[in-house]
Structure 1
Amino acid sequence: MGKVSGVFLLVGLCLGAVVAMVLIPPSRSGPAAVADAASRVTVPTVDTGPEEPVASPPPSSSGAPGPPPKSVDIQALADLVPGGQVSVVVHDRTTGKNTVSLKPDRSYTSASLVKLLIALEALQAGTPPGTVQRMLSASDDDIASRLWTGLGGPLIVTRWANKIGLAGTRPPEDPGRWGDTRITAADVVKIYRYLLDQAGAGTRTTIMRALSGATESGSDGVRQYFGIPDAVGSLPWSVKQGWACCRGSRILHSSGTVGEGDRYLVVVLTSQPASTTYAGAGRRVTEVVKALLPAIDGM
């Protein structure tokens, strides 16, 4: 019996070693692993229903989305033009929506903004592109007057208002005063949208090249870099500005495109007290455009 017991003892030790080898993962070894294996107990699996989702940890700061676009204080815009009137529209061509709108249908004297319509008519009539570009980039009144007279005067405004759908644009009461054409900020945005999205490639290239090459001073010597050019820093811009004085008020307008691919259409129309200087009125328009920058993506 002693020999038999010894055999059983030897067999038992061998079986124990085999069981330990099966239960202990190959990557783990040593006394701690043996103790872990010895403590394992098989329990029945209980079905507790669908597993509840585990909340994911919040994303790190490097992967978190940026803050939402800042809003623009509309009342603050109006306060930037004391004693006067201001209308503003910022249109995002990517989304097709206006991101800022203040009194978009208020009527203003167009001053030189009507040259956009004169340019469209002139190019359609075969006027040399260089002539049109000079009228726009330097805001040349003499060229505008010649084209206005030769191409039908007030009929230019009527034709293009009907074609583009400009609800608030009207020819001047005095047919010879093209700068007295009536416009709205909403309509100026429509002109730019037509130019960029519907006009022929040659027309679009001619006009936009002139607007992106606007000279710092107009042909009359007035500095025309107020508003958009002075406010947007290094962002690409193309502009058509307007100014006039002084039949009861001083008119200063800044209009054009801002950003890569002409993404944003920006129109700021103002009527300011006649006692305001051009320089002072221009600074106010610049401050209005600066206040709009939060509505422009990436600013």
Structure 2
Amino acid sequence: MKPLAAVPLVVAALATPAQAAEAKPIRVPAGTTAAWVVYDRQAGKFVATRNAHRKYRSASVVKILIAIDYLERRKSVPAADARLLKVMLRASDDDAASAFWDRGGKGQIIVRTARKLGLADTAPPPASKPGFWGYTSLSAYDIVRTYRYLLDRADARVRDTILGHLRRSTPCGADGFDQTFGIPDGVPRPWAVKQGWSGFGTTPPVRCDAKATSAPISWIAQRASRSGVPDYGRPVLYTSGLAGKGDRFVMAVLTAHPAGGTWSGSVKRITTLTRDLYRSVAS
């Protein structure tokens, strides 16, 4: 898909990511590739950026776009689908995402939402992997833009449904991985979050929920090769969402870790980065 021209979301957005700078430099650990964007809605500008337009494979963060597309294409939601939306957004359930992905036309979901929201860095999975929603490409800038769309432009029904679930993100993902890294562990409440992870195997080192049965997106990733997907072969962790009173800050922190990196080490790195980043803009 060709890059799409970005469309301003609000008149108050006077600064571009390239113009923003953190009050204090944030140290990125050796071997970790990091990108972040923080938008201050109170100030009406970007207050922190790094590699704002670098593309990453989406992992589960794409579930926000899947939900937007689903809700905006219908006036009512059947009870069964409401339950799927709930577990997809709160517990990051992959089976629910796959159900919506297949029904919505797979990559066409990304084409539609990228065009409507003005997401210049977002593209569908490679044509050879149409079912791999986690191989959607996106950037920290586009993730922040997506949250701003929900806050400023989306219909109240869409906004309240999606953000309502993200405000109730569960500590445990449906696949048994602990999803409290990044914003949940590093930023004081209130917040709303959507996490993403890929490349850490199918079994978490310490299972967060013994009842979880869904396979993580990393299991899907292991079945593909030579996909041309960003950072393929490296484990990734993402934390994104809203933070501060009145949803003041819109944040996205994306990290790719050394091949073979452990879950615990990677979680510690992204949580420290997120905590330091938040403190640098909120102080």
Which of the five TM-score ranges fits, normalised by the shorter chain?
0.7 to 0.9
1:115 to 63, 67, 70: 63
* Post-superposition CA distance 1:148-188 (Å, at most 9, x none): 00011000001110111101001000111000000000100
Match of 2:133 among 173, 178, 185: 178
Say which SS state the counterpart of residue 171 (structure 1) adopts.
Answer: coil
Distance 1:70 1:279 in 2: 27
* Percent of residue pairs identical: 43
Is 2:230 the partner of 1:245? no
2: CA distance, partners of 1:143 / 1:285: 26
Correspondence list, 1:284-299, <5 A? 284-297=269-282, 299=283
In structure 2, the partner of 1:283 is 268
* Poorly superposed stretches of 4+, deviation over 4 Å: none
Contact between 1:242 and 1:252, CA under 8 Å: does it hold in 2?
Answer: yes
Q: How big is the shift at 1:72?
A: 2.2
Q: Does residue 260 of structure 1 match 2:278?
A: no
Query: Counterpart of 2:247 in structure 1: which amino acid?
Result: D
Deviation at 1:133, TM superposition (A): 2.1
- Going from structure 1 to structure 2, the CA distance change for 1:200 and 1:130 (only over 3 Å counts) comes to farther
**Gap runs ≥5 in structure 2:** 1-20, 201-231
Q: Which residue of the partner structure matches residue 4 of structure 1?
A: none
Give the conservation status (yes or no) of the 8 Å contact 1:196–1:204.
yes
Q: Is contact 1:133–1:209 with CA below 8 Å preserved after alignment? A: no
Report which structure shows greater RCO (CA 8 Å, sep ≥6).
Answer: 2
Q: Deviations over 1:28-67 (max 9, x none)?
A: xxxxxxxxxxxxxxxxxxxxxxxxxxxxxxxxxxxxxxxx
Measured on the aligned residues, the alpha-carbon RMSD in Å equals 1.6
Map of 1:83 onto structure 2: 31
The answer as to whether partners of 1:135 and 1:144 remain within 8 angstroms in 2 is yes
Name the structure 1 match of 2:48: 100
- Distance apart, 1:125 and its partner CA: 3.3
Residue 262 of structure 1: CA displacement?
0.9
Alpha-carbon distance between aligned partners in 2 of 1:108 and 1:237, rounded to the nearest angstrom: 23
**What CA distance in whole angstroms lies between the structure 1 residues aligned with 2:121 and 2:173?**
27
Equivalent position of 2:228 in the other structure: none
Stretches of structure 1 lacking an aligned partner (at least 5 in a row): 1-68
Alpha-carbon displacement from aligned partner over 1:215-237 (angstroms, at most 9, x marks no partner)? 0010000000000000013x311
Instruction: Tell me, yes or no, if the aligned pair for 2:22 and 2:281 is still in contact at 8 Å.
Output: no
Shift of 1:70: 7.8
Partner of 1:24: none
CA contact (8 A) 2:22 2:48 kept: no
Residue 294 (structure 1) shift: 2.8
Aligned residue for 1:118, secondary structure, equals: helix
Report if aligned partners of 1:123, 1:129 keep a CA contact under 8 Å in 2.
no
Q: How does 1:39-50 map to 2 (within 5 A)?
A: none
Q: Post-superposition shift, 1:89? A: 0.7
Tell me if the contact between 1:216 and 1:225 (Cα under 8 Å) persists in the aligned partners.
Answer: yes
Q: How far apart, CA to CA, are the structure 2 residues paired with 1:165 and 1:241?
A: 22
Q: Is the 8 A contact 2:37 2:50 kept in 1?
A: yes
Q: Secondary structure at the match of 1:168?
A: coil
Look at both structures and tell me which one has the larger radius of gyration over its CA atoms. Answer: 1
Name the structure where helix makes up a greater proportion of residues. 1
For residues 134-149 of structure 1, the aligned pairs below 5 Å read: 134-149=87-102
Letter in 2 for 1:218: G
Structure-1 separation of matches of 2:150 and 2:235? 28
Query: How far is 1:295 from its partner?
Result: 3.3
1:221 counterpart residue number: 176
Q: Among 257, 260, 283, which residue is 1:272 paired with?
A: 257
Q: Tell me the TM-score normalised to structure 2 length.
A: 0.76
Give the TM-score normalised by structure 1.
0.72
Letter in 2 for 1:125: R
